[in-house]
Amino acid sequence: MILVWLIGVLFLGGIIAWLSERLNPNYPRLIALITVLLDLVLMLTLLGAEPAIGGWVAAIDAPWIPRFSISFYLAADGLSVLLLLLTAFLGVIAIGSAWDEIKVRAGFFYFNLLWTLAGVLGVFTALDLFLFFFFWEVMLIPMYFIIAIWGHENKNYAAMKFFIFTQVTGMLMLVSILMLAYFHYLQNGFVSFNYHDLLTVETRGPLEMWIMLGFFIAFTTKLPSVPFHSWLPDAHSQAPTAGSVILAGILLKTGAYGLIRFAVPLFPEASKSFAPFAMTLAAISILYCAKVAFAQTDIKRLIAYTSVSHMGFVTLGVYAWNEQALQGAIMTMLAHGISAAALFMLAGGLQHRIHTRNMLDMGGFWAKVPRMAVVVLFFSIAALGMPGLGNFIGEFLALLGAFRANIPLTVISAFGLIFASVYSLWVIQKVFHGEYTNSEFDDSHLTDLTHREMVYYATMIIGLIWMGMYPQSFLALSQPVLLDLISSTEEIVNIVVQN
């Protein structure tokens, strides 16, 4: 029942935040913050819960549309709990980033923000695939409004591009879900969208590959991965700061979660055959997007391309499909969620102060905003994989596991770590060092980070250090889930080979 509360609190909080604007324009942000903090406290109770059979620490299964055997089936295990905590934590950060930025229609903004978070929680816990698709759509529509209404100069184009990419590929996933349910009907005599039932469906050969591709394209578009990535730089550059935080920190992780939970376990034989191609796409994403990042002068577009590059390590780890690689993928998801969110928050804060994202108009800011400069330096070296921080643990484990699966692609992908060092330090050099530049803005607006902003960044810094120094606290939660997924897929593949 706690999972229903987690989602319901966000839905209800969003409505109250919207309505409260009539009483006081400052109420929506306060209600949104209290709502997400309440959710975070509720999630912490899951950490102490004893897992039931199958490793689930919480579950609810109630009829929803009995005619088609569709149920309201939510469940959380160690993997889900990690991502739920990340969602709530970055939800608080997103509200903090919007605190002074969102002045127009604030009630509707926080309504959309909370409903996006509710949709994400549903994605991370739904085990009925029709319900999963429902929440997949729920989180897209509010994000469209966040970009289209509160975005920047080219917001309508970016919002529509985001919506079309995710909606069209989502329809492909829906077709694949319906095909799975149909084949379950043919093989068992009744329709089911239950995850555990669909794991038993036999779809071999080219048919399995085609159905799997519906899931793969939907998830890698959201991840995103080359060649389905082109919506992301536009969405990030035009979105308000809070929108970028949610996009980079949380929404991208739903695609990676989908690969781990659904795409590979539901189609183990096809995934094994497809793995070399998926890992090749991952290597291309890592190197190509790192190279494209060099050509950017818009600081938010640059960070967006680096996000695609770093998420390539997640795809690489998932399709290596061994414990080390999967643990690396999950740690990269968590660490990248925090570091990318922080960098977008910093870029958005800089834009809010000086009204430009063009790095050609920046330079020599270190002396003017020393606190901001130090914070940017920390998250930049975190993103490039500095040992002792969470990103290093994730990418190192992903490469270590991938090395066991495909040595050439792992060696090629490792060059992405070198590129990451170069473009991260280049941004520091261009924006914060050199001669002071103020040709395009009033430098009186270039103020350093406030104490409130420093509190948000300090919590993210502590999170990354904790991941880097005590990774076992995260690895232990996800390990039983991953071992179960690996053993079940290997068992199915072995049965197919024997037959």
Q: Averaged over 26-34, what is the pLDDT?
A: 93
The pLDDT of residue 435 is 78
Helix (H) or strand (E) holding 339: helix 323-354
Q: 10 Å Cβ neighbour count for 408?
A: 10
Per-residue pLDDT of 293-323, as tens digits, reads 888 888 889 999 998 999 999 999 999 999 9
Per-residue pLDDT of 431-451, as tens digits, reads 888 777 765 555 667 888 888
Tokens of 407: 């040595």
Q: Report whether pLDDT(413) > 50.
A: yes
Q: Report whether pLDDT(495) > 50.
A: no
Q: Report whether pLDDT(82) > 90.
A: yes
Is there a cis peptide before residue 227, judged by omega within 30 degrees of 0? yes
Per-residue pLDDT of 123-172, as tens digits, reads 999 999 999 999 999 999 999 999 999 988 888 999 999 999 999 999 99
Spatial contact of 397 and 324, defined as CB atoms under 8 Å apart: yes
Number of domains in the chain: 1
State which residues form the domain around 283.
2-498
CA 338/CA 289 separation, integer angstroms: 20
- The mean of the pLDDT values for the chain is 89
Dump the DSSP string for 9-27: HHHHHHHHHHHHTTT-TTH
Q: Averaged over 45-70, what is the pLDDT?
A: 83
The pLDDT of residue 193 is 93
The pLDDT of residue 297 is 85
HSE (side-chain half, CA atoms, 13 Å) at 496: 19
Kindly provide the b/e burial profile for residues 454-480, where b requires at least 16 CB atoms within 10 angstroms of the residue's own CB.
Answer: eebbeebbebbeebbeebeebbebbbe
Q: Report whether pLDDT(229) > 90.
A: no
Range in 60-74, 88-102, 158-172, 414-428 the model is least confident about: 414-428
The pLDDT of residue 174 is 95
Q: Averaged over 271-288, what is the pLDDT?
A: 93
Tokens of 451: 């104490």
Q: 10 Å Cβ neighbour count for 385?
A: 24
| Residue type at position 95 | I
Q: Report whether pLDDT(53) > 70.
A: no
Q: Averaged over 241-263, what is the pLDDT?
A: 92
Q: Averaged over 356-362, what is the pLDDT?
A: 83
491 vs 50 pLDDT, higher one: 50
Q: Report whether pLDDT(348) > 70.
A: yes
CA 216/CA 258 separation, integer angstroms: 9
The pLDDT of residue 443 is 60
The percentage of residues in the chain with a pLDDT greater than 70, rounded to a whole number, is: 96
Tokens of 440: 């395009």
Is there a cis peptide before residue 224, judged by omega within 30 degrees of 0? yes
pTM for the model stands at: 0.93
Per-residue pLDDT of 173-197, as tens digits, reads 999 999 999 998 988 888 899 999 9
Helix (H, G, I), strand (E, B) or coil at 358: strand
